[in-house]
Structure 1
Amino acid sequence: MKIVFMGTPEFAVPSLEGFYSNHDVVAVFTQSQKPAGRGMKLKKTPIHLKAEKLGLPVYTPNNLLKNDIHLLLKSFDLDFIIVVAYGLILPKQILNIPKFIPINGHASLLPKWRGSAPIQRAIEAGESVTGSTAMLMETGLDSGPILLQKKLNILTNDDSISIHRKLSYLTADCLLHAVDKYQKGKIDPKTQNPLQVSYANKLAKEEGLIDWSISSFEIFNKLRAFQPFPGLYTLMNGFNIKVIDGTPLKLIHNQKEGTVLETKLKLIIACGNNTAFSILKLQKPGKNKLSYSEFLKGTKIEKGYIFE
């Protein structure tokens, strides 16, 4: 099968590798180089680097509306366009080029969590199962008919980083199976149920500020979800203190949310709904990550102190 692969981040690399090993990938499209790092030097995307390593031609258009892009894609006489976290919208004229409708790999069990942050939002919501979806592409956001889905359990010790890694390989497997079955006519695409749609909005830095009035279990889910960005932090004397690790507790108390309940054996903070959060690791701005006991040696926090 002649395929053009479109993707950008590390998440898409296993899918590119899978199609390279099993099909004829004639070209790779990825986003253009962006300045990064202290020197703000132009940096190629992970897909760009992988494609070059595989000896594949790489294209980095800023949009897909130009006529030369349309003509280029038509010249490949494509069977499929495969898209994984590309970052650019495919216009209708591009969707009509290959023999089969282009297929997109998405890191959720659609129609749940359409959008840019499905992994983080699933963990934040406390869900125990997520997965990958292979769907036919259309002009709407992650709204196309579903070809195939594969499920993945979210364990208590999973965070966005570990689920991201697991789903990157599961998505590759899901797409390869979907393409094989679809081109053989063995899949009947299923329309997404509009009543079950939810959206995974892009993460904002401000979401990392801990709201101690919610339950500690919700805080724990946010801690797992917001890795590595935006992370969790609380305010102490006007400074941001990052909370790196912690454990939720069921604990009946009558203290204001955010109040320090214990500092000797543990650092425990009062939360909403008769819960508390045991902070295990913290970090001051520009300093190393410290266990709560090491942190308390250099920073005085009295029982009864209220985090902002």
Structure 2
Amino acid sequence: MSQYIIKRLFGTLLVMFIISIIAFMFVHLLPGDPARMIAGEDATAQDLINIRHQLGLDLPLIHQFHNFIINLMHFDFGQSIIVNEPVSELISERYKVSITLAAFSLWFIPFGIILGIIAAVFKSKLPDRFSMVLAVSGISIPEFWLGLMLIQIFAVKLGWFNPTGYETLKDLVLPAITLGTIGTAIIARFTRSAFLDVLSENYIQTAKAKGLMQSKVIVNHAFRNAMLPIITVIGLQIGFILSGSIVVETIFGLPALGSLLIDSVNSRDYPVIQALLILYSFQFVIINFLVDILYTLINPQVRMQ
């Protein structure tokens, strides 16, 4: 078990190093000049040269990358080019909102699993059709449209919530519903498929033949084996929620990482963009790592391999 974890940990570090290279190269491929953003349109050529020197943008690319990696190893993301504040402080302020929104959006996990189990148990019956209609609708509806509809109905017409902004946890209810809807639909469909495969196995038929109640068959025999593929999908969806909530955060005007990324790209704030790309990627990598570890706990065969 420990050897497997160490092996996966080394693989994770290698992936993060490759992601760091991609993040560094990506921002330097963006069109535009951050020195021009800072100096303004009326700046002289000498002003631009001075600003580039102060920011270290006049160094050869390999030297810039060396400094970037060294600072990254010390968890130093540098200073924001535009607001001249530490990048770590800018991100930490916004990250609290993003992580709170992600936590609120995790309602999709139990709801999607329950919906999928109901659909599998009542295959081809009314509950199954109803559950799958909800699932297909959830996948098909664009996030921006759903968010705007929720704002129109529950914020503008009914006045139950604020349409935009973040002051209390109540303001995260509509964004969490918007963000978790697609995850619920995907989990429901995968859960239904996984449980249908497991419920057709011989040991399940044997358990039913012994007279066990349907609920005990599902909980004691089917649930653990069916959860293996579902765990992978849950991990991916959590990753998407943590790093793919830019549209939802923008629609609801939340002071989170999504708006920070958009502002940083528009202003060519290289350090902030690099830090956010690495943070988003790190979340995905860590979630996949935890999913692999959870796999070994549920399925001993993975551990032996």
- Does the alignment reach a TM-score above 0.5? no
**TM (normalized to structure 1)?**
0.23
Q: Which has the higher helix share?
A: 2
